[in-house]
Structure 1
Amino acid sequence: MIEFLQLPWVQRVAFAVGGLLLGRLVERLVVARIRRFAETTRFKWDDLLLRSVRGLPTIWLGTGGLYLALTVAGVEPGAWLRAALTIVLVGSVALALMRLAGGAVEIVSAQATGTMQSPTLVVNLVRLAIASLAVILVLQNLGINITPLITALGIGGLAVALALQDTLGNLFAGVQIILSRQVRPRDFVRLSSGEEGRVTDVRARNTTIETVPDGSLLAVPNSVLASSIVKNYTLPTTELWVSVNVGVSYDSDLDHVQRVTVEVARDVLTSVEGGMPEEPPQLFYREFGSSSIDFVVRLKVRDFQSQGAVRHEFIKRLHRRYAREGIEIPFPTQTVINKARTPS
């Protein structure tokens, strides 16, 4: 039995298979137990680290076992085997780093904005940078001179840049949008063209917006968004004022109208979710209209999502209260005077 175990090919197989089995054992027992412990903590970075190396201990220990088997047997790995081992190791480490970087961007985004959602463009650019460095490292370890390759890519990049001018314009505009932090995922915005909704993502070519109220997905090219006038309802705070235009007849007692309207507005802010009763409603008379005295009522709400319900309930209750108080909301009218011609 001892003589059998001392056979070179048996030792090679034992080290190679042993590395794979040890990797699976570490994955199933050690990493799994650490993962269960990490799930009980509120610290996010340990969960991220474990997700980043998921499935990789088997590859690392298996590759190490294969290399050790060749070393113990006194066999010098050939060029093709050395290249394969280099690609596997560098590729697996790069994969772990890309996972780690993507998760780190999400955690940092959560700390900055209060949401785990981060722009896809940022994650993809970070992963692309890591993958590019991994490719360069592999080529250098294989003894391949990358200078001519970089030169060729530089010359070819000019032609590609001309062919993909619009795409690159959207890409750089997307980077500008992210760095400026004036439009972020989960922000509620209104475009100069009239569309409004919640920003869902900033991608390489476009920014996607879930429109209100139909919930459809609107894709806006980054170059268009960067050059447009955008109203952000989330910045600098999520709180905003809702304006409702109202008109009453010229026969109305304006002091009585103001008192009744403010009472209704306060009741709505107190009873409707999203209203801010600590901020008193505001009423401003604006102008003498063609058929009514016009004014605006402003109500403070906690966020963009709350404005629809508050506006809806305020209009209903105000109409009901006006009817009870005898306050008239006039229809637009026109008076036509026909002058009779004097007989000649």
Structure 2
Amino acid sequence: MTQWILPAALILFSLLIGIVCEKFLFHKFKKIIIQKHIPGSRLIFQALHRVTFIWFLLAGFSSALVAASPNLSPELKILLQRIITIIFLCSITLVLARLTAGFVNSWTRKAEGVSASLISNLAKTAVFILGILILLQTLGVAVTPLVTTLGIGGIAVGLALQDTLANLFSGFYLIISKQVRTGDYVKLDEGHEGYVTDITWRNTTIKELSNNVVIVPNSKLASAIFTNYHLPAKEITLTMNVGVSYDSDLEQVEKVTVEVAKDVMREIAPELIANEPYIRFHTFNDFSIDFTLYMRVSEYFDQRMGKHLFVKRLHKRYQESGISIPFPIRDIYVHNNN
């Protein structure tokens, strides 16, 4: 039994070192590096999560295998070496896949409107496939015939998964054409509207203002008629129709209305204040002179708050300035035959 003491001690020592490094040193080092704001440091530590413990454990098993090799048969020794190699290569593949997905996600956040989910998952899948091929090649499995077989089998799989592939390629089309981007506010021809939160390999997820989620297949969205309120730019023009009485001084009406609109813009869209709001009179109506206010807001959703604030403040200013907003009045004449 004494001949197994050293291998067992090496395995136990590597296990303890792995736990200590993973639970204490790794987290402390992670906080120090992240506080220094080194680019990519957070992604690297996320990719190495739990993997450093596996590496320490594999180092212990490798050392134990070397120490116990005189007492092992050649076949068992080769088998254990292969198992350690397989686990090590799998861990390397996992780290590279995490890093690839992390850097792709980081890039997609900077490249406005590109879906993080579809592209990052595709990149991660590519790394996993490459890792599997390298692993098989390391184990002595001929990769070329396997790839050829998978290519032939892929044709049959593609025929069986036509709908899935249609959604996949439609998702790529939507991203490449930039017709729909994550963060865009869209309204479908069926009436659903909301913010695009993600484009996956199969569906596009739209989050409505009521916090409900609408799932639309990519192929359906690619062929649908929809309005993207963030294209060609997020900024849009809010329009409000207002009517004032015929007794009003139209010069004063214009001045007061524009001042109120500027005040609203300073609160909800200060970066657009250079685009001054304006009004245009257009109709002599039955009871009022009608005009339309044009005011820029940062995005589609800001229209609600803009209209809310504008109506409240305009009503108050009109009362203070003696400007009336008329309501329909009818004169009724009663004929008495007596």
The TM-score range, normalised by the shorter chain, is: 0.7 to 0.9
For 1:304, what is the secondary structure of its paired residue? coil
Alignment pair present for 1:43 and 2:38: yes
Question: In angstroms, what is the RMSD of aligned CA positions?
Answer: 3.2
The aligned residue for residue 138 of structure 1 is 135
Tell me the CA shift for residue 132 of structure 1.
1.0
Deviates more, 1:123-132 or 1:182-191: 182-191
Deviates more, 1:53-62 or 1:240-249: 240-249
The aligned residue for residue 341 of structure 1 is none
- Pairwise mapping of residues 30-179 of structure 1 onto structure 2 (< 5 A)? 30-72=25-67, 73-74=69-70, 75=72, 76=74, 77-113=76-112, 119-179=116-176
CA distance in 2, matches of 1:142, 1:329: 86
Length-normalised TM-score, structure 1: 0.80
Q: Deviations over 1:185-217 (max 9, x none)?
A: 2232333444332221111111111113x2211
CA contact (8 A) 2:278 2:293 kept: yes
CA distance in 1, matches of 2:27, 2:248: 75
The aligned residue for residue 306 of structure 2 is 310
CA distance in 2, matches of 1:53, 1:267: 52
CA distance in 2, matches of 1:33, 1:316: 54
AA partner of residue 17 (structure 1): L
The aligned residue for residue 19 of structure 1 is 14
Alignment pair present for 1:265 and 2:261: yes
Residues paired across the two proteins, number: 324
Alignment pair present for 1:219 and 2:208: no
Tell me the CA shift for residue 255 of structure 1.
4.3
The aligned residue for residue 279 of structure 2 is 283
CA distance in 2, matches of 1:244, 1:222: 35
CA distance in 2, matches of 1:43, 1:329: 63
Q: Deviations over 1:245-295 (max 9, x none)?
A: 33456776654543443233233334x434544431122244566876543
CA distance in 1, matches of 2:288, 2:314: 16
CA distance in 1, matches of 2:252, 2:42: 62
CA contact (8 A) 1:210 1:217 kept: yes
For 2:224, what is the secondary structure of its paired residue? coil
Alignment pair present for 1:203 and 2:186: no
Deviates more, 1:244-253 or 1:101-110: 244-253
Query: Aligned in 2, Cα 1:136/1:317: closer, same or farther, shift over 3 Å?
Result: same
Tell me the CA shift for residue 103 of structure 1.
1.7
Tell me the CA shift for residue 222 of structure 1.
1.4
Deviates more, 1:244-253 or 1:32-41: 244-253
Tell me the CA shift for residue 13 of structure 1.
2.2
For 2:111, what is the secondary structure of its paired residue? helix
Deviates more, 1:82-91 or 1:313-322: 313-322
Identity %: 38
Alignment pair present for 1:245 and 2:241: yes
CA distance in 2, matches of 1:243, 1:306: 12
Alignment pair present for 1:183 and 2:141: no
Query: Aligned in 2, Cα 1:321/1:160: closer, same or farther, shift over 3 Å?
Result: same
CA contact (8 A) 2:115 2:175 kept: no
Deviates more, 1:218-227 or 1:124-133: 218-227
Tell me the CA shift for residue 226 of structure 1.
2.5
CA distance in 2, matches of 1:34, 1:291: 74
Where does the alignment leave 5 or more consecutive residues of structure 1 unmatched? 334-344
Q: Deviations over 1:71-113 (max 9, x none)?
A: 3434545454233222211111111112212221222233334
Tell me the CA shift for residue 69 of structure 1.
2.5
Tell me the CA shift for residue 230 of structure 1.
4.3
Query: Aligned in 2, Cα 1:259/1:169: closer, same or farther, shift over 3 Å?
Result: same
The aligned residue for residue 333 of structure 2 is none
For 1:42, what is the secondary structure of its paired residue? coil
Query: Aligned in 2, Cα 1:25/1:267: closer, same or farther, shift over 3 Å?
Result: closer
Query: Aligned in 2, Cα 1:229/1:42: closer, same or farther, shift over 3 Å?
Result: farther
CA distance in 1, matches of 2:151, 2:329: 68
